[in-house]
Structure 1
Amino acid sequence: MNTTITSRIIIASTGLLSLAGQINAKEQPNILWITCEDISPTIGCYGDQAAKTPVIDQLASEGVRYTHVFATAGVCAPSRSTIITGVYAPSLGTHHMRTGNDISGISKGIYPTETGIIDPEGNSVPKYSAVIPSEVRCFPELLRKAGYYCTNNAKTDYQFAAPISAWDENDSNAHWRNRPKDKPFFAVFNLNVSHESMIWKKKNDPLLINKNAPNIPPYFPENKVIRQDVARNYSNIAELDKQVGQILKQLKEDGLLEKTIIFFFSDHGGPLPRGKREIYDSGLRVPFIARFPHRFKAGTVSEELISFVDLAPSMLSLAGITPPDYMQGQAFLGVHKSDNARTEIFAARDRLDECYDMVRCVRTKDYMYVKNFYPEKPNYMDLKYRRQMDMMNELIRLHKSDSLNAVQEIWFHKTKSTEEFYKVKEDPHQVQNLITDSCNQLIVEDLRKKLTNWQQKINDQGFIPEGEMVLQMWPNLKQPQTLKPAIEKINNTFKISCPTQGASIVFQFSNSGASKPEWKHWHVYSEPITAKKGQYLHIIASRIGFKQSEEFVIKCE
């Protein structure tokens, strides 16, 4: 790729100029996602000096640091389903955390049926793979059709089994280094050292930061146990920084640093209580850094509002692909960058493990409006999983002993306001609910309408009891199966289709008809394919949420 072409791509990528037409395959940039779990912008380049993150800080100094990027849920699986599709989780039916097993790669979607979970209407809820609208695809499939080699290392957690069509590689060995020569890549590396569970799993490891350095937010008391877990979180982020450095080192070793657009971000906000699972900034706001080849726009800070629903259309736009109409986000980069800047973000909170709630929010740069559909429930959910954290148990102890101040006690109130309103610049932790202040009513009414309109526009399925929703997806609680593909042969050219609406088709060739003979990766079918005499053609069809079809094998005579 020559310097002139690279410069033109990068200019288009940042949305400063628009290139006419599609970018051809030779001009498609490599795209690398380094994603992590459960961190807020508590890193050095965002002004938190307690964090030891020299690698991430340097990445920000060489790229664009975004300050207003938000997840669509404060927990991983609903958030990740939006990231991979470009569609809000409540629109897909993937809004409850969690629906089923995180099955990666080639999956027949076999799930256990018993969970013991009962929805608010008394319906039993089994484990299930969400059946999403038939037109929706995992966006890497669209990149693959456009010539990209797509790898995911290694977490999916989409609320449905990752379809066989989504990735060229989807396991712990997935890497851009395995791609065919000169093929553009989209590579994802998911780092989990900062995950909530590492607060207790790594509790006895030496700290990599000064224990007394982190600031304690006002909704936590200063306490030895609490400070220890806060420090552990920062220490895990310091370890994360080193892992990011290892991936960037590989990119440099391969001579690809200046041929690749690099993104770093978390799947939602931080892992501590009153952070993860909430729809305040502590649960939604994430660090987000983009580094472009040749350090284009190095050191720039962008304050534009970005939602995770915008990621899929933006990656397609960078590759010169027009985002499909079903996507509910808008591109903030690339040749199809939206002409209109986003003015608000939306987020949702529903069932979290064994506990039910339904909360929706809209946030602008200045305000946040929250609607609680179960105001009789507290914000605090007594989740078994989170009880493994010393800090969580300490907060419960302090609450029961009346040792928390008024701000710290808010989270434990037995009920919550039907509506909440915050001025986020004056109240960055969202602890002062101003919903009853008459001077804010015009703003509240505007945000209330925006939220209602959004729910109607996306067909918010939060109003459907989960047990009923599962029966709509899985009639008689039996997972539907993708039908066998239909094949039309003309000489040695094969035209393939599938009678299951919304199914994707994958294929590969082998020199024997045995199941998994050489087991090369599957190719996404997009047009009739030609086989050589003596080869065997293997075909599978799969719709998201369905069991995939049986494998079909044809010998090419």
Structure 2
Amino acid sequence: MLMNRFPIWAVALVLGVAADQGAVATADDAQRPNVVWIMSEDNSADYLRHFGPNGAPAPQIEAMADHGITFNHAFSNAPVCSVARTTLITACYAPRIGTQFHRRHTLAHLPPGLKMFPAYLRQAGYYTTNNSKEDYNAVRGDDVWDDSSRKASWKNRPTESTPFFHVQTYTQSHESQLHFSEKQMSVPTDTDPESVHLQKYFPDTPTFRYTRARYHDRIQQIDGLVGGLLDQLRQDGVLEQTFVFYFGDHGGVLPRSKGYAYESGLHVPLVIRVPEDFRELAGRDLGSRTDGFVEFVDFGPTVLNLAGVEQPEEVDGRPFLGPGVDPAEVDSRDETLGYADRFDEKYDLVRTLRIGDFKYIRNFEPFYPDALQNNYRYKSLAYQEWRELNAAGKLTGAAKQFFAPKAAEALYDLSSDPDEVNNLAADPQHADRLQQMRAQLDDRLKSMPDLSFLTEAVMVDSALENPITFGQSHIAQIAAYIDTVNLALLPPEDALPQLEVALQSEDPWQRYWALVACSSLGDSVKSLVPMIENLLLDVEPLVVMRAVEYLAVHSDVDTLGFLYRSLSRATNEPEALRMLNTIVYLQDYHGYEVDPQKFQFIIPVNPKGQLVRRLEYLRGEI
């Protein structure tokens, strides 16, 4: 039965917190539900049988669903740990608050007055614990957790009646579990490799089959751990007072999932076990499923709502359970936003919008193949073999797409193409849908505004003390940059005159994004080569590097000296790292020869930072 108003205890709690932000709420603790989050690392929904016929059996999670709710369409907004977890803990879209880069160079500060959401629970009298991964890209206040450690547990709360919020992360499904050697492949898996389903974009080899079978085994280990934690709650006599969320912290973990804004990187399993003592807060029958879309920005607001704690105005999410939530409205939600930026040392800029079964992807740097080197990814034998097969010319069909330039925009019908391999963007039958989704995504990025269009190098120097204020003060410029890079979506004859203007702009970042558009359009704008060659002398080093990027591929202009000079002018690590991304791309995909011994930096190189990863690769040290 739908509850259209807050229960008395929740109203009392909200009023108590509003009256005195420093006071513990006076509502009877026993009348407030506990909440536990169980996160498994790096797994998308389709690796569980509960969400698809090709997944692994998970009887403990399936039993949770029998006593709860299954969310068929739950999404991480980002396909990688630190960005996804920061989105969860802040309930804010990462590109709006400056937390979109993995791994962060500099921690961002949250907007004034906004806290990570467990702080509001703690303020309201909850005992908050995290065991134990944080991995946030924003500064964490001292008021978020009572305990965040490997020993953190609800068992340590001050009284048995104290309500609690506990987060438990299990690493047994992390991608590092698939970094096995060829010798280790002789160890049999519980899952028969011949029985597994391979996605259309994978080559069908024993390595890929073994990798997927091994991952199925890992999912079943996670299932056992989930069951064990439920048993702990049951033994402590609190299971029927506790909402238990099970979900993946983002997608993964076979190639083309973690780190990529496809459904394999964003669509996560979500099952919520509903406690008997608070069944009325679910508003749904036990064992039910919903097709309504929920995303990570919604998770924190949902916990606050279940606890009767007022939601901060500054967050982006909406609750999907608890007082005042209409299940029919949740069922009607059909939209989710995705974002992928720098992933370790590998830069890309991808934004996605899914509405129902249609997925729109805007690749702002489409000339970079998905396969662009990322050192940690290529520890996997499956990644290594995939690359070797491509180099040997042995890939056909969808398996080759990973190594080719991407389309600037893609449209997929997920009902018939769940692997996202048949791009409908050029299909006249879908022209209206493409235009509508393109415009809708643009509106969201501009209104946010999306700080990635200022570049990470600028953000580190100028924005991270107060990212939202900085973004709002530059909202017009960001919109202009998006319009400029979107010239790549026009027919070349229509884009050319506007690109000429943008390349001569007094704003260096207008010139920067115009060059990105030129690289996206390729040879069709070669008439601009003389103008682009002039930008090799630009005052902004990143503009020079973008000019090098275009000219090295689409002209015979000698650019090597300008490349070395730009590196020597970089003033922070993200600026230099952005340049090395271009160098790796040109070397690996266009035969561009560089001498790493000639690299000079005026900045200190962090021996544990991302710049070192690129340097190790370019020097042939890995």
Q: Under TM normalisation by the shorter chain, which class is it?
A: 0.7 to 0.9
1:408 counterpart residue number: 399
SS of the residue corresponding to residue 71 of structure 2 reads: strand
Equivalent residue in structure 2 for 1:324, among 312, 315, 333: 312
1:43 paired residue number:
48
| Equivalent position to 2:339, from 319, 336, 348 | 348
Deviation of 1:209 (Å):
2.3
Gap change, CA 1:73 and 1:255, over 3 Å in 2: same
Q: Equivalents in 2 of 1:191, 1:336: separation in Å?
A: 32
Of 300, 304, 307, 2:288 maps to 300
- The yes-or-no answer on 1:257 pairing with 2:244 is no
- If each structure's helix is expressed as a fraction of its own residues, which one has the higher value? 2
Moved more, 49-58 or 174-183: 49-58
CA distance in 2 between partners of 1:385 and 1:47 (Å): 29
- The aligned counterpart of 1:63 is 68
Secondary structure of the corresponding residue to residue 321 of structure 1 = coil
* AA of the residue aligned to 1:194: S
> Which residue of structure 1 lines up, in the alignment, with residue 153 of structure 2?
175
Report if aligned partners of 1:37, 1:266 keep a CA contact under 8 Å in 2. Answer: yes
Distance 2:153 2:204 in 1: 44
Contact persistence 1:69–1:288 (CA under 8 A) = yes
Letter in 2 for 1:149: Y
Report what 1:227 is aligned to: 209
Write out per-residue CA displacement over residues 357-412 of structure 1, whole angstroms, 9 at most, x where no aligned residue: 11101001121111111122112231100111011101001111111112111111
TM-superposed CA distance for 1:21, in Å, is 5.9
Q: Give matches, 1:423-502, under 5 Å.
A: 423-473=413-463
Distance 1:288 1:211 in 2: 26
Quote how far apart the aligned CAs of 1:336 are. 4.3
SS in 1 for 2:256: coil
1:484 aligned partner:
none
How far apart in 2 are the matches of 1:206 and 1:172? Answer: 31
Give yes or no for the alignment of 1:148 onto 2:152: no
Q: Residues 21, 294 of structure 1: CA spacing in aligned structure 2 closer, same or farther, 3 A cutoff?
A: closer
Distance 2:232 2:190 in 1: 24
Confirm or deny: 8 A CA contact 2:114 2:312 kept in the other structure.
no
Alpha-carbon distance in structure 2 between the residues aligned to 1:135 and 1:439: 48
| CA drift at 1:17 | 4.3
- Pick 1 or 2: higher relative contact order, CA cutoff 8 A, min separation 6: 1
- For 2:4 and 2:464, the matched residues in 1 are separated by 47
* Higher strand proportion (structure 1 or 2): 1
Alignment of 1:357-436 (within 5 A): 357-413=348-404, 415-436=405-426
- AA aligned opposite 2:5: S
Contact 2:115–2:141 under 8 Å retained in 1: no
The sequence identity of aligned pairs, in percent, is 35
In 2: Cα distance, 1:241 partner to 1:43 partner:
10
2:303 to 300, 315, 321: 315
Q: Determine if the alignment matches structure 1 residue 73 to structure 2 residue 78.
A: yes
Matched ranges for 1:140-289 at <5 A: 140-181=118-159, 182-200=161-179, 207-289=189-271
| Cα distance, 1:22 vs structure 2 | 5.6
Letter in 1 for 2:403: F
**Secondary structure, counterpart of 2:286 in structure 1:** coil
Aligned to 1:95: 100
Which residue does the alignment assign to 1:491?
A: none
Distance apart, 1:212 and its partner CA: 2.3
Distance 1:344 1:151 in 2: 31
Task: Compute the RMSD of aligned alpha carbons.
Answer: 1.9
| Residue pair 2:116, 2:144 contacting (<8 A) in 1 also | yes
**CA displacement at 1:49 relative to structure 2:** 5.6
In structure 1, distance between residues paired with 2:131 and 2:308: 24
Deviation per CA, 1:487-515, whole angstroms, max 9, x where unpaired? xxxxxxxxxxxxxxxxxxxxxxxxxxxxx
Say how many residue pairs are matched: 434
Pick one of 30, 33, 36 that aligns with 1:29.
Answer: 33
Q: Which residue of 2 aligns with 1:128?
A: 106
Work out whether residues 130 and 168 of structure 2, in 8 Å CA contact, stay in contact via their aligned partners in 1: yes
2:3·2:324 contact (CA, 8 Å) conserved in 1? no
Distance in 1, Cα, partners of 2:125 & 2:449: 33
Matching residue's letter, 1:381: L
Structure 2, unaligned runs of 5 or more: 14-26, 280-284, 466-622
Letter in 1 for 2:450: D
Tell me, yes or no, if the aligned pair for 2:50 and 2:57 is still in contact at 8 Å.
Answer: no
Distance 1:98 1:291 in 2: 33
1:82-102 Cα offsets, whole Å, 9 max, x none, are 100000010111111111xxx
Deviation at 1:457, TM superposition (A): 2.3
1:303 is paired with a residue whose SS is strand
Between 1:65-74 and 1:330-339, the stretch displaced more is 330-339
TM-score (norm 2): 0.67
Paired residues of 1:258 and 1:294 also in contact (CA < 8 A): yes
In 1: Cα distance, 2:118 partner to 2:231 partner: 24
Q: In the alignment, is the contact (CA less than 8 A) between 2:54 and 2:197 conserved in 1?
A: no
Paired with 2:268 and 2:56, the residues of 1 have a C-alpha distance of 15
**Equivalent-residue separation in structure 2 for 1:63 and 1:360 (angstroms):** 33
CA distance in 2 between counterparts of 1:363 and 1:380 reads 23
